Amino acid sequence: MIKVIIIDDHQVIVDGLKSVLMADPALHVVGSAPSLARGLGLVSEHHPDVILLDMRLADVSGVSVVERTRRAAPHAIIVVLTGFGMGLRDDSMQAGADAFLSKESASDSIVRTIRQLVALPDRAEAGLVPLSQREREIAALVAAGKSNPEIAQLLDISINTVKTHLASVMSKMSVGGRVELALEWQKRGDGYA
């Protein structure tokens, strides 16, 4: 489990980042703070693997945010997420940031950057393509040994709908049959969230 701390004073940004990061089962947000002082308190308490850092905070702004965070967390990966634009990228990297992204970056690029920096394989490359909630339910029921008619009755859907979802599940999981699906689901079902 990769521990992540978010230091940003915009609650909407923090909530969005939490939602995006928590969708990846390898990433766990252990805390967030609106100021550097409070953020560094979380850093000393949780010893995160990754820190997502805004460069404009209530108590300090600019490159000094990165410098102070690097001193407090020499082994953590620091990803600067900023609305400043890319003009401070080089200075931030020299101050100790491992990556510099605009807050306008797509959510999947933020997760991909974190996974690359901590040397986790990309989920798609690892065969861990996310399943919808319904697909997860059907995969779990198949793994539990339920037949298509039983699944249809349990979920109150038609057998054809079960077959459609099941075909999608097998494609996404790269498996060729029910037995292989059940084995794969038991091994790493949480990875398909």
Q: Which range is most confident: 64-68, 119-123, 180-184?
A: 64-68
Please report the domains of the chain, with CATH numbers, ordered by start residue.
2-117 (3.40.50.2300), 133-192 (1.10.10.10)
More confident residue, 115 or 35: 35
Torsion sign, CA atoms 151, 187, 167, 128: positive
pLDDT-above-70 percentage for the chain: 90
- Residue 78 pLDDT grade (very low, low, confident, very high; cuts 50, 70, 90): very high
In DSSP notation, 98-155 reads SEEEETTS-HHHHHHHHHHHTTPPPTTTTT-PPPPHHHHHHHHHHHTT--HHHHHHHH
Asked if the model's pLDDT at residue 156 lies above 80, the reply is yes
CA distances (Å), origin 176, targets 68, 123, 134, 179, 182: 52, 20, 20, 8, 11
Kindly report whether the global pTM for this prediction surpasses the value 0.85.
no
Asked if the model's pLDDT at residue 107 lies above 80, the reply is no
Asked if the model's pLDDT at residue 85 lies above 70, the reply is no
More confident residue, 50 or 85: 50
